[in-house]
């Protein structure tokens, strides 16, 4: 039997009755910080390897190739974690704690199995994978070395990334953030030691990353053994239930596809750049820098949506339409202000991103000239990232999936091939901005039109259930 302690009661009371704006800040600020820490995870390796004497730009290009591969691994973690945690949160809102715990344990078992299988496949076929992803010939050795080491820590990545949303869905956003922060700090400390002091180069970067993920993983697992957690490990609840797995996957498929399509477009970018430039590493390195800039805008906005997930899922479970409406209005305004601010600075001084990575003069020139085109549509990320994640938290699997597919699969990938055919490498950089702008407008229209209807229907549904009881 699952026993709920007083601190947990306080959490659920706050989600249901607490003042909304302070609660929004309490939930979202740690989640945004956690995403910024994730950004650090992604760029610290690149910043250090770019400084390797004689081969910095090759190493930077290699990590640009490996990035979408690591994101695919994380996509499977999102499939389980971001699919299971809203389902569990809705069950908590319905006062069905036993089923919420079963969902958690099913998710844990899925992450274990996926982590082992994906790690083995990635290790065995690392060279073939980086070649498939359009790696420039001069960077193949670096990319393969990094990926082989990273694959050995796949299980830790899966558990850390997939279980953290189950901490967040209980309202413990600070604890969820702290677990990510611990790993990031360890990664930052170990990177220069392994890369330069121990002269391990790119291999050292990979080793620092998996060790830091291991530390985050241990911290997260320990939380679920504490009295604070509503969810606890139970072998009995890990028994395979295909209905429960299908329920998790149906909702997690949207964040999975969102991450997977991000990877797909990076592969498309790399392939088109290779063809248009004859494998010139400077253009691949410049793309790596631009994608880092894109992450600086998108990840915090993702954090806003993820941070609101416990509030949204719980109150959706309760059928509290008015509270949902107010909370989402607040976070929409916050997301818009953030998106406009970062977008404005990025377009005004795009070369700052090249300086962060100590880029060569050639790479800096490419970044300065083409980043404004690459980022021009990112102003719409307040809808595509923040509100799209809230759409998932509401359990709207079908519409969330459709909106995720529109941006990358339907618009961006075909556009990239077409523009590259007519404009050469310039088409790669321009296609991202155009697609983000068009897809963002479509997503905004759909979400602002459907959310009020979703709230009303859920409120009516819950009232009817109460009358039956």
Q: Tell me: the pLDDT tens digits for 208-220?
A: 999 999 999 999 9
Q: Is the pTM of this model over 0.85?
A: no
Could you tell me if 80 and 162 are in contact, meaning their C-beta atoms sit under 8 angstroms apart?
Answer: yes
Comparison of pLDDT for 228 and 463, the residue scoring more: 228
pLDDT higher than threshold 70 for residue 330 = yes
pLDDT mean over 371-385: 93
> 83 pLDDT band (50/70/90 cuts)?
very high
DSSP 319: T
Q: List b or e across 412-425, with b for residues whose CB sees 16 or more CB atoms inside 10 angstroms.
A: bbebbeebbeeeeb
Q: List b or e across 129-153, with b for residues whose CB sees 16 or more CB atoms inside 10 angstroms.
A: bbeebbbbebbbbbbbbbbbbbbeb
> 145 pLDDT band (50/70/90 cuts)?
very high
For the chain, give the mean pLDDT.
88
pLDDT higher than threshold 70 for residue 7 = no
Q: Which helix (H) or strand (E) holds 150?
A: helix 140-152
- d(CA 168, CA 211) in angstroms, rounded, equals 23
Instruction: Say how many CA atoms lie within 13 Å of 234 toward its Cβ.
Output: 18
Report the chain's terminal Cα–Cα distance, integer Å.
Answer: 23
Collapse the DSSP code of 249 into the 3-class scheme (helix H, G, I; strand E, B; otherwise coil) and give the result. Answer: helix
Structure tokens at 142: 């670096």
Q: List b or e across 45-71, with b for residues whose CB sees 16 or more CB atoms inside 10 angstroms.
A: bbbbbbebeebbbbbbbbbbbbbbbbb
pLDDT of residue 6: 43
- d(CA 155, CA 265) in angstroms, rounded, equals 25
Question: Please, where are the H alpha helices in 50-96?
Answer: 56-93
pLDDT of residue 4: 39
> 406 pLDDT band (50/70/90 cuts)?
confident
Structure tokens at 426: 């310039």
pLDDT of residue 1: 36
Could you tell me if 387 and 330 are in contact, meaning their C-beta atoms sit under 8 angstroms apart?
Answer: no
- d(CA 322, CA 458) in angstroms, rounded, equals 11
What is the phi/psi pair of residue 135, to 5°? -70, 130
> 248 pLDDT band (50/70/90 cuts)?
very high
Question: Please, where are the H alpha helices in 278-396?
Answer: 281-307, 309-318, 321-348, 351-356, 361-375, 381, 388-393
């Amino acid at each position: 039997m699952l026993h709920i302690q007083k601190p947990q009661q306080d959490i659920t009371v706050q989600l249901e009755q607490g003042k909304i704006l302070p609660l929004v800040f309490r939930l979202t600020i740690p989640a945004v910080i956690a995403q910024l820490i994730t950004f650090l995870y992604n760029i610290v390796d690149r910043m250090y390897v770019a400084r390797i004497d004689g081969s910095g730009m090759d190493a930077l290009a290699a990590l640009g190739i490996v990035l979408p591969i690591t994101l695919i691994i994380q996509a499977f973690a999102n499939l389980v974690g971001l699919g299971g945690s809203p389902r569990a949160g809705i069950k908590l809102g319905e006062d069905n704690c036993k089923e919420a715990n079963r969902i958690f344990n099913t998710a844990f078992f899925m992450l274990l199995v996926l982590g082992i299988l994906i790690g083995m496949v990635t290790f065995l076929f690392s060279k073939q994978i980086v070649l498939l992803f359009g790696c420039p010939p001069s960077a193949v050795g670096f990319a393969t070395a990094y990926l082989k080491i990273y694959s050995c820590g796949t299980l830790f990545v899966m558990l850390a990334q997939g279980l953290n949303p189950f901490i967040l869905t209980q309202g413990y956003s600070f604890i969820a953030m702290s677990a990510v922060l611990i790993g990031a700090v360890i990664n930052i400390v170990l990177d220069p030691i392994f890369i330069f002091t121990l002269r391990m180069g790119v291999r050292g970067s990979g080793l620092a990353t998996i060790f830091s993920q291991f530390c985050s993983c241990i911290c997260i697992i320990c939380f679920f053994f504490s009295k604070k957690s509503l969810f606890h490990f139970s072998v009995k609840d890990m028994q395979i239930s295909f209905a429960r797995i299908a329920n998790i996957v149906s909702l997690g498929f949207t964040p999975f596809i969102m991450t997977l399509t991000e990877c797909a477009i990076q592969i498309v970018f790399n392939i088109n750049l290779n063809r248009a430039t004859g494998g010139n590493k400077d253009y691949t390195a410049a793309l790596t820098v631009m994608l880092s800039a894109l992450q600086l805008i998108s990840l915090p906005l993702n954090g806003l949506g993820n941070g609101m997930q416990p509030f949204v899922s719980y109150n959706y479970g309760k059928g509290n339409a008015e509270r949902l409406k107010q909370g989402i209005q607040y976070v929409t305004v916050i997301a818009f202000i953030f998106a406009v601010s970062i977008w404005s600075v990025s377009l005004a001084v795009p070369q700052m991103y090249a300086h962060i990575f100590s880029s060569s003069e050639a790479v800096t020139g490419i970044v300065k000239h083409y980043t404004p085109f690459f980022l021009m549509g990112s102003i719409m990320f307040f809808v595509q990232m923040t509100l799209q994640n809230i759409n998932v938290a509401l359990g709207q699997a079908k519409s969330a999936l459709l909106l995720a597919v529109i941006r990358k699969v339907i618009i961006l990938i075909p556009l990239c091939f077409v523009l590259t055919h007519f404009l050469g490498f310039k088409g790669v950089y321009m296609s991202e901005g155009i697609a983000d702008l068009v897809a963002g407008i479509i997503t905004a229209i759909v979400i602002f039109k459907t959310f009020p209807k979703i709230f009303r229907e859920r409120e009516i549904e819950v009232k009817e259930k109460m009358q039956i009881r």
